[in-house]
Amino acid sequence: MKKILLILIVLILVLYKDNACDKNFIPYGIRSFDVWVYNDDTDKEYYAGNVTTDYLNAQTKLNDAQLLAYDFAEAHHLKNWNYLCCTVTNSSNCVTKIR
């Protein structure tokens, strides 16, 4: 019953506030994470890709985003790097930035 109530609340929030966020800065209307990798040695940034998700699976999909960043850094032989994820909704390509 609690899960159904949570889903209904999330759906209502998505319909009215696409960019409203929870306490972890995850928008209720999230569609995906854009993953960006930064080379600390050269101060360059690279788009590593996109991980599709929804609000209920966002925490799990953050792990996929981390793996995407790691794979990108390995493939491009980056030694000193970090990454961030932009949360993507229907109305914004970067509502919040999280790692």
Distance CA 60, CA 37 (A): 19
Distance CA 53, CA 30 (A): 7
Q: List pLDDT tens digits, range 3-15.
A: 777 777 666 655 5
pTM, full prediction: 0.78
pLDDT band at 44 (very low <50, low <70, confident <90, very high): very high
Question: 87 pLDDT exceeds 60?
Answer: yes
70-75, long-range: CB within 8 Å, 24+ apart, which pairs? 72/35, 72/37, 72/46, 72/48, 73/37
Domain residue ranges of the chain, discontinuous segments joined by +: 2-98
Distance CA 81, CA 4 (A): 41
